[in-house]
Structure 1
Amino acid sequence: MSKLYLECYSGISGDMFVASMLDLGASQKVLEEVLASLPLDGYKTGITRVNKSGLDVCDFNVVLEHDNHDHDMDYLYGEHHHEHHHHHEHRHLHDILHIIDHGEMTEGAKDLAKKIFTILGEAEAKAHGTSIEEVHFHEVGAVDSIVDIISAAVCFDDLGIDEVYIPVIYEGTGTVNCAHGTLPIPVPAVNNIVSSHHLPLHIDTIKGELVTPTGAAIASAIVTDTVLPETFTIKKTGVGAGKRAYERPSLLRAMLIETTPRH
């Protein structure tokens, strides 16, 4: 039995999760082969070591090619400008399931990737008052989210983890700007996921979005228990870096743990 404890004191996002799994020893080669097999292009991935608060941690980054797109222009010109540049962002769930099905990965990784996308799709559909078949994955369906989620599933599957403990997920406060206007934090998709899947949330005083919809969907797809064993030993630790700069370092720690039976 392989057990994982996810320490989400800085929230959770897709790239942080993938980085923490790679840092734990998920195969970079396996991941790169799966990504190369996907019917999806227009991006590159980078796996690097970065320094956060003096710690050496893993960073997973999806870089969109030809993305000289100025996101601030969206606010000035609205959605049409947005779609003109990012025609590939408007995908439906069936398009994404097609991409997953055509990737060369294990059945376990495929099933998990589909589960994560379905959780995300249900939450986005509920937030926008539409159905999961109809919802446009504009933020979700963006190439970087697809790559994050498939990578998360592949790396998690590669580590062969059976149990996942997530006792608490920290979230910030305030609002975020999106193409549709200003949203409260947790953003509606995160709120819906946390609500539907009974994820244990702690609202911290930090201003900003600590939990992304992708991060929340990954957490709810893999969590098996929200109560940590009273005592355990740590076999290995992986740390993934987040991209955002808040007053607390943006880090996700993932620990492979062992529980020792009491005598």
Structure 2
Amino acid sequence: MEKRLYLDCFSGISGDMTIAALMDTAGIQLEFLEGELSKLHLEDEYQLKLSRVNKNGISSLKFDVIYGEHHHEDGHHHEHGHHHHHDEEHTHGHGHTHHHHDHEHTHTHDHHDHKQTHDHSHGHHHNHTHDHGHHHHRTYKDIVALIESSDLDQSVKELALKIFKVIGEAEAKIHGMDLETVHFHEVGAIDSIVDIVGTAILVDKLAINKVISSPVPVGSGRIKIDHGLYPVPAPATLEILKDVPLKSTNIKGELTTPTGAAIVKVLAEEFSDSIPDMTVKQIGYGAGTKTFKDNPNVLRIILG
């Protein structure tokens, strides 16, 4: 029997929503993911957190990466430096979904995040064993080397590298840069590495034969990035989604991130508006950071 996975992205898709939904679908424990990710030897740079949240009545898993950063005196808390969009919910001081957009969104929200920043940070101080001062960002080339030299299974490495390459190429094209030198700022890099490698680990573990996705809603409106107001989807996201059917929505905000877009681009072999031919065996819901008034901001994954 062919094992199929349907990505029902009725509210968009991001890397953290994908990981949460996959873990919810298959009942995978966080320890398994932590153990596999430790093969990258980066565990002193982050901690993972899995929690159950309720999004507009749907019980969903929420996956967060908490950074083991020092809290600088100047109030630049890296945990959500790059959180340019989740305007509505700063409460989860590290909703990190995105981005990798790495270079741009860095400190947009700091001014109104300080009060919540500390919530989740205490207790992670043991992570600060080494200073990341020398690592302001990792280039695409550094990330490829990191994944290739890890102890992950070959199939996981290949899938993660494919997803990273799709993002790297889009960023390079948007910024008029060479792929090798595209850089992922510190937080964005760790975030992207965990989301992308984590997704590859879980998809590999589930031994899926075929991934089908719904058309992808990207959101609407504008998002504030350091360089100004950008249209949604952000340029890199749109570049990645070439050849992927998009779905119009009047929800304001960024529903799909570059990482989410790249996951769909690499994994989905076909697209279907409704659940494809399959006998459903397991269903999971992964929560996004934002909450919308009438639309549950979750990614549904159906396995069968």
- By the TM > 0.5 criterion, same fold? yes
Q: What is the CA distance between 1:222 and its match in structure 2?
A: 0.5
Contact 1:88 1:142 in 2 (8 A): no
How has the CA–CA distance of structure 1 residues 163 and 142 changed in structure 2, closer, same or farther, with 3 Å as cutoff? same
Contact 2:55 2:291 in 1 (8 A): no
* Structure 1, 20-29 or 104-113: larger mean CA deviation: 20-29
Question: 1:198-242, CA deviations, whole angstroms, 9 ceiling, x for partnerless residues?
Answer: 111012111100000000011111011113676432111011111
* Structure 1, 140-149 or 54-63: larger mean CA deviation: 140-149
Q: Which residue of 1 is the match for residue 162 of structure 2?
A: 115
Instruction: Give ranges in structure 1 of 5+ residues lacking alignment.
Output: 78-84, 258-263
Verify: 1:63 aligned to 2:108, yes or no.
Answer: no
Output the CA distance in 2 between the equivalents of 1:230 and 1:118. Answer: 28
Output the CA distance in 1 between the equivalents of 2:33 and 2:108. Answer: 35
For residue 176 of structure 1, the aligned residue among 223, 227, 230 is: 223
For residue 287 of structure 2, the aligned residue among 230, 241, 247 is: 241
Instruction: Please give the secondary structure, in 2, of the residue aligned with 1:36.
Output: helix
Verify: 1:156 aligned to 2:157, yes or no.
Answer: no
The AA in structure 1 aligned to 2:32 is V
Q: TM-score, normalised by structure 2?
A: 0.75
Q: Which residue of 1 is the match for residue 46 of structure 2?
A: 43
Output the CA distance in 2 between the equivalents of 1:67 and 1:203. Answer: 41
Question: 1:1-46, CA deviations, whole angstroms, 9 ceiling, x for partnerless residues?
Answer: 2101110110000000000111122453332112222232321001
Output the CA distance in 2 between the equivalents of 1:55 and 1:113. Answer: 30
**% same residue:** 42
Q: Which runs of 4+ in 1 moved over 6 A?
A: none
Instruction: Please give the secondary structure, in 1, of the residue aligned with 2:223.
Output: strand
How has the CA–CA distance of structure 1 residues 53 and 117 changed in structure 2, closer, same or farther, with 3 Å as cutoff? same
Output the CA distance in 2 between the equivalents of 1:94 and 1:230. Answer: 38
Q: What is the CA distance between 1:141 and its match in structure 2?
A: 4.7
For residue 215 of structure 1, the aligned residue among 260, 273, 284 is: 260
Verify: 1:53 aligned to 2:56, yes or no.
Answer: yes
Contact 1:92 1:136 in 2 (8 A): yes
Query: How many residues are matched?
Result: 248
The AA in structure 1 aligned to 2:13 is I
Q: Which residue of 1 is the match for residue 35 of structure 2?
A: 33
Contact 1:50 1:57 in 2 (8 A): yes
How has the CA–CA distance of structure 1 residues 230 and 93 changed in structure 2, closer, same or farther, with 3 Å as cutoff? closer
Contact 1:22 1:238 in 2 (8 A): yes
Q: What is the CA distance between 1:86 and its match in structure 2?
A: 7.5
* Structure 1, 231-240 or 116-125: larger mean CA deviation: 231-240
Instruction: Give ranges in structure 2 of 5+ residues lacking alignment.
Output: 85-105, 111-131
How has the CA–CA distance of structure 1 residues 230 and 75 changed in structure 2, closer, same or farther, with 3 Å as cutoff? closer
How has the CA–CA distance of structure 1 residues 169 and 203 changed in structure 2, closer, same or farther, with 3 Å as cutoff? same
